[in-house]
Amino acid sequence: MTEYATIRTETRGRVGWITLDRPEALNALNSTLVTELAHAAAAFDADEGIGCIVLTGSDRAFAAGADIKEMEAKTPREMTMDNPFVGLEAFSRVRTPVVAAVAGYALGGGCELAMTCDIILAADTAKFGQPEITLGVIPGLGGTQRLPRAIGYYKAAELVLTGRMMDAGEAERAGLVSRVVPAADLLEEAGKVADAIAGKSLPVVYAAKEALRASLETTASEGLRFEKQVFSSLFALDDQKEGMAAFREKRAADFRHR
């Protein structure tokens, strides 16, 4: 297992765990952390033994944003040519579903990082927001695009334009959070969700994620066409035959990821 400076990784069964670990900066996303996160996620994504990834932080912070101190003096040219966040684009495109387990602050790039994931479980201590406007910038890692899609234009605009934070309950009501759980149960619940996903057929899980992602990027009619094609193509898999035979025979399916 690779040794990292700003994250910790672990494999539990078919689940790959990535824990952001820069406590001195509330897990602020500096270039090292982003590079390590992308590397770890790519390694899990390339491993057929991994069916789901959990991404988490600490009790105090999932991530308090991009690293302001690292960014402060940069020029537009440096932000473009030497983009410290380039790894997040790769992270957002992994085939494996990612469960974000969020406790404490998920602000700015931290909220944006959570929004690149497929499921967001929030501890009741979680706080979400896009405070970039208070720093004299705007969200730069997807906040102006993914937040309105998640919670609607008007609520997203209020958060982005004022920099206000919302608590876990408000985030759940708004549709940003899949489910809120007591802080003490967050990792256990994330593990259960991840195990449930990792127990399914991997190529089918990849297909489901790809079709879900299409809903964010294409028109409804194109998305429906894509879904129909993917659905039909899955009938070539042994796991489709196994899943349906298991239903008929009233037993649990034994998926072989084929």
Report how far residue 90's alpha carbon sits from residue 242's, in angstroms, rounded to the nearest whole number.
Answer: 33
CA 209 vs. chain centroid, Å, equals 12
Alpha-carbon distance values, 19 to 22, 199, 211 (Å)? 10, 22, 27
Shorter beta-carbon distance to ligand CAA: residue 135 or 253:
135
Alpha-carbon distance values, 226 to 117, 128, 150, 229, 236 (Å)? 21, 33, 22, 5, 16
Shortest spacing between CB 133 and ligand CAA, in angstroms? 9
> For ligand CAA, which residue of 141, 147, 156, 181 counts as binding (CB under 6 A)?
141
108 binds ligand CAA (CB under 6 A): yes
204-233: contacts with ligand CAA (CB under 6 A): none
Residue 112 bears catalytic tag: yes
Shortest spacing between CB 41 and ligand CAA, in angstroms? 18
Beta-sheet pairing, 52-56 with 15-20: parallel
63 and 109 Cβ atoms separated by less than 8 Å: yes
87 binds ligand CAA (CB under 6 A): no
Residue 222 bears catalytic tag: no
Shorter beta-carbon distance to ligand CAA: residue 3 or 72:
72
Residue 106: how many CB atoms within 10 A of its CB? 32
109 binds ligand CAA (CB under 6 A): yes
Question: What's phi and psi for 95, nearest 5 deg?
Answer: -75, -30
Binding part of the chain for ligand CAA, among 131-139, 193-201, 225-233, 247-255 by CB under 6 A, reads 131-139
Binding part of the chain for ligand CAA, among 22-30, 182-190, 206-214, 239-247 by CB under 6 A, reads 22-30
Run of H or E residues at 165: strand 165-167
Binding to ligand CAA by CB under 6 A, coded x per residue (else -) over 26-65, reads: x-x-----------------------------------xx
Shorter beta-carbon distance to ligand CAA: residue 83 or 215:
83
Residue 167: how many CB atoms within 10 A of its CB? 15
CA end-to-end distance (rounded Å), the chain: 27
103 and 127 Cβ atoms separated by less than 8 Å: no
The residues of the shown chain that bind ligand CAA, judged by CB under 6 A, are 25-26, 28, 64-69, 105, 107-109, 112, 131-132, 135, 139-141, 143
